[in-house]
Amino acid sequence: MRTLPRRRAQVQPWLQNASNEFPHGRPQLASAPQSAQDWQIYVAVTAAMHGLELDPARQAEVALQLQRIALMAQPLLDYPLGSHDESAPVFLP
C-alpha cells in the first residue's frame, strides 16, 4: 500500500482552530462559495491526503480549477433534495 507523504498540511488545518486557517470562516463544502484562499488551503490539504505532489504553480492552478468547478456546481449544491431522493445506480450483482 502506498504511504501518504508526511506533511504538516496533511491534517493540521482541519484539526486546529479553523478561524486561524480560513480567513473567511470554516468552509461549508456542501453549499457555500469559497474564496480563492480557501481553495488553496483545501488543495494543500487534500492533495497531501491523496499523495498528489503539487508544486506551488500547479497547486494554484488546481485551486483555480476547483474554484471554477465550485461556481459551476452551485445550482446542484443548492438543490433541495429530499430524503427519498436516491441515486440511480447501474451496478447489477
Q: Please, which of residues 36-55 interact with other proteins by CB under 8 A?
A: 42-43, 46-47, 50-54
The nearer residue to other proteins, 8 or 91, going by C-beta atoms, is: 91
Q: How many residues bind other proteins (CB under 8 A)?
A: 36
**Integer angstrom CA distances of residue 35 from 9, 14, 32, 41:** 19, 17, 10, 10
Angstrom distance (rounded) from CA 34 to CA 37:
8
Alpha helices in 1-93 (DSSP H): 12-15, 18-21, 36-49, 56-77
Answer yes or no whether residue 1 interacts with other proteins by CB under 8 A: no
Q: Read off the C-alpha cell for 88.
A: 440511480
Task: Report in angstroms how near the CB of residue 18 gets to other proteins at its nearest.
Answer: 16
Considering the rule CB under 8 A, would residue 4 count as an interface residue with other proteins? no
User: Smallest distance from the beta carbon of 19 to other proteins, in angstroms?
Assistant: 21
